[in-house]
Amino acid sequence: MIRFTPSPLIDALIDIALSEDIGCGDATADALIPIGAAATMNIVAREPLVLCGQPIVERIIARFGPRHVELKWSCDEGAPLQAGGEVAVLRGELAELLVLERTMLNFLQRLSGVATLTRRYVDEIHGTSAKLVDTRKTLPGYRALDKYATRVGGAANHRAGLDGGILIKDNHLRAAGGVHAAVSQARSDAPHSLRIEVEVETEHGFDEAVEAGADVIMLDNFTPEGVRSIAEKAPANVILEASGGIGLENIREYAEAGAQIIAVGAITHSARAVDIAAEILDD
């Protein structure tokens, strides 16, 4: 079970989503649905997917505060579903179910899409020692949720924000005066608990980063052959991360070449929302 931690930021996002959809009320339900009318709503996968978003749906119901809504999940978080697979059953006042429907589905479709794409990448490197990690290329405001979804899909989280680690990239190197100066300054000023990672674009840059004492070295836009060449000479205490130009078609090559960590921004910035539907059943 992947741990989900509610936060004021997530609650604020849920409140915004409910507010923008409901406005001053549901004009259609007010006009057509009798007060107190009860119903059963079935949530169904319309395509193969990895389910993600159960804690969010539960939080949506809690934030909205319906008088009578009962939710029963039909599968576990992270479970693979085929088209037609049942996700959940909700029972309660029909007007309230219809008000919540779109917001619940929007979160489920987005997060399940991220988890589904992530699982495809994880499956591609199964049997290797490489670990897939996400990036900060997330939907604004959704960082915590997107990173939760990648964990459900089987990936590990890279830093969640700029305060979560030291990653020295090309612009930092220019400002600091090179690899040695940047690593030395970071080692001197940064909290002792943070690893120091350096992004390099050449084998010479890798050598400099090793000499400077970097803990993690990101090989940016290296070919699998380039990663293999680096891995063959890398010190045992240096962690190798591959990033840039990595997709489903070549991620296994990078894993087999010796990359210990493989960062893929596509699992969040290019994930497609999957098709999940809500249907009112005849009681």
Q: Which residues pair with 217 in a beta bridge?
A: 198, 240
Neighbours of 247 (CB within 10 A): 11
Average per-residue pLDDT in the chain? 95
Question: Whats the size of the chain, residue-wise?
Answer: 283
Catalytic hit among 134, 208, 220, 253: 220
Confidence grade of residue 283 (pLDDT, cut at 50, 70, 90): low
The answer to whether residues 34 and 104 touch, using CB atoms and an 8 Å cutoff, is no
Judge whether 199 counts as a catalytic residue.
yes
What does pTM read for this prediction?
Answer: 0.94
Judge whether 169 counts as a catalytic residue.
yes
Q: Cα separation of 90 and 77, whole Å?
A: 17
Q: Cα separation of 5 and 2, whole Å?
A: 10
CA angle 106, 272, 281 (to 5 degrees): 40
Q: What is the pLDDT of residue 80?
A: 98
Catalytic hit among 46, 63, 169, 228: 169
Judge whether 15 counts as a catalytic residue.
no
- CATH number listed for the domain at residues 8-122+272-281: 3.90.1170.20
Catalytic hit among 46, 63, 91, 102: 102
Q: Cα separation of 119 and 138, whole Å?
A: 17
Q: Cα separation of 193 and 232, whole Å?
A: 28
Neighbours of 12 (CB within 10 A): 12
* 152-178 mean pLDDT: 93
The answer to whether residues 197 and 243 touch, using CB atoms and an 8 Å cutoff, is no
- Give, in words, the CATH class of 125-269: alpha beta
**Site of tokens 């050598």:** 207
Confidence grade of residue 240 (pLDDT, cut at 50, 70, 90): very high
The answer to whether residues 218 and 205 touch, using CB atoms and an 8 Å cutoff, is no
Residue-range domain boundaries for the chain? 8-122+272-281, 125-269
Confidence grade of residue 65 (pLDDT, cut at 50, 70, 90): confident
Q: Cα separation of 26 and 149, whole Å?
A: 30
pLDDT tens readout for residues 95-105: 999 999 999 99
Catalytic hit among 77, 93, 199, 208: 199
Catalytic hit among 63, 137, 143, 187: 137
